[in-house]
Structure 1
Amino acid sequence: MNIGQKQVLKHINLSAEEGSVTALVGPSGSGKTTLLRTLNLLQLPSEGSVTVGDITANAGQCHPKIIRDLRQNSAMVFQQFNLFKNMTVKDNVAKPLIFNGIATRKEAEKIALNVLNQVDLSGVVDQYPVTLSGGQQQRVSIARAIAIHPRVILLDEPTSALDPELVESVLQTIANLASKHVTMILVTHEMEFARQIADQAVFIENGEILDQGPAKNLLSGTRPGRISLFVNSLSHSTIKKEA
């Protein structure tokens, strides 16, 4: 795939099973975020196609309806939280449901309260984002994503903007979703975490998939070669998956 005259992604062939977690790993600038943005059509593909559920977007044919339909089946969680500063936590989750015609106001508020409870934020529903920690804000973003019941949640390094002491709560929230078989594709540098919760890992370098396979094997750090060198170069974060 090209951005302008530059080829950013090359020969990408990737699929993720429903209910699985896929970890996209690799050095900075390798194309992981571009791939994730392409899956949500924030970056339109210059060739090939993207399919989420029963919606397929072909390069050169990404009309507004196709983009809207595909995004209704997927949700994106960004590095920066992208919350509405002038809305309460509850409204940050509920208002998108109302604006997109997914639910009435009463239904949306009920959904918002339910998902905020799932991410352990029921005590801050009437607060504004500025009053929350970075970890809490990111969990609001995750709650907003799961509120629409997407076919897949796309997470772009969701802990990279957080102070170290705030990382664990976000990782635990993601692990809890994984234990409920929520389909996720995750860009992360948290290697040990990815090894524990992901079903498959995909190593990307220079815009190409260098290798992919079961996360426990690919991210073990014991295989000879480039991938183990990368995995072992990063600090490890651990988290326990819910039973």
Structure 2
Amino acid sequence: MPVRQQDLPPGPAGVTITRTGGEREGVAMTHGFDKEYWERHWQQAGAADPGRAGGGPPNPHLVRETGDLVPGTALDAGCGEGAEAIWLAAHGWQVTAADISAEVLARAAARASASGAAERVRWVEADLGTWQPGTPFDLVTTHYAHPTIPQLDFYDRIADWVAPGGTLLIVGHLHTAHLHTGHLHTGHGHGADHRPPAEASATAETITARLDGAAWDVATAEECHRTAVTREGGEIPLHDVVVRATRRR
């Protein structure tokens, strides 16, 4: 359905954040990751760390999986504090970075201005469970996003936004019964004491099973474990699922 848009007041250095609105059409929420949750989360994060500059380095899976792609248009779905969007912009992509939280988008826009990447990033405040971008992208990527709709339905939605010949990159929480322990994903809302719920996770098999083999070529479908360094200098284990696929022309 058509999306209503309005420009919010200019952000840092003239950055504009676009707000989209739209009514949900029969899609039930299965968990509490709504706008109120994320605004409260990011406000609390800012209050707890007033000097927080925002995020850390970009997700290493993004860096690895997109290094051989020719830059074009990209969507970062659930961009958080913007590390991945800014990295893509710095490497020649024209990026649309969407998130449900106005609080975190303002933080991300400020970080982009400081990095010199602001001109190549469009920040959009949107519920990705209802939003329609209106145009396909050469790259659609998401990193540990917790949407307002079921996780696999969210992946289906963003896959529809990939242009023919374009790339879908999903980096998510690995769903394994004994692995729902501490996760930290800098810039995407997890702290060392936060455990992503089972409904916010997936496996490579459950994701790739939703991709029509007649329309997609799957290049990467892996489940991996790694260690990240927290803002305080500690280490925490991460359990990731990574799927990269190309839409056939």
Report the TM-score when normalising by structure 2. 0.29
Query: Which of the pair is proportionally richer in helix?
Result: 1
Whichever structure has more strand as a proportion of its residues is 2
Higher RCO (C-alpha under 8 Å, 6+ residues apart): 1
Q: Structure 1 length normalisation: TM-score?
A: 0.30
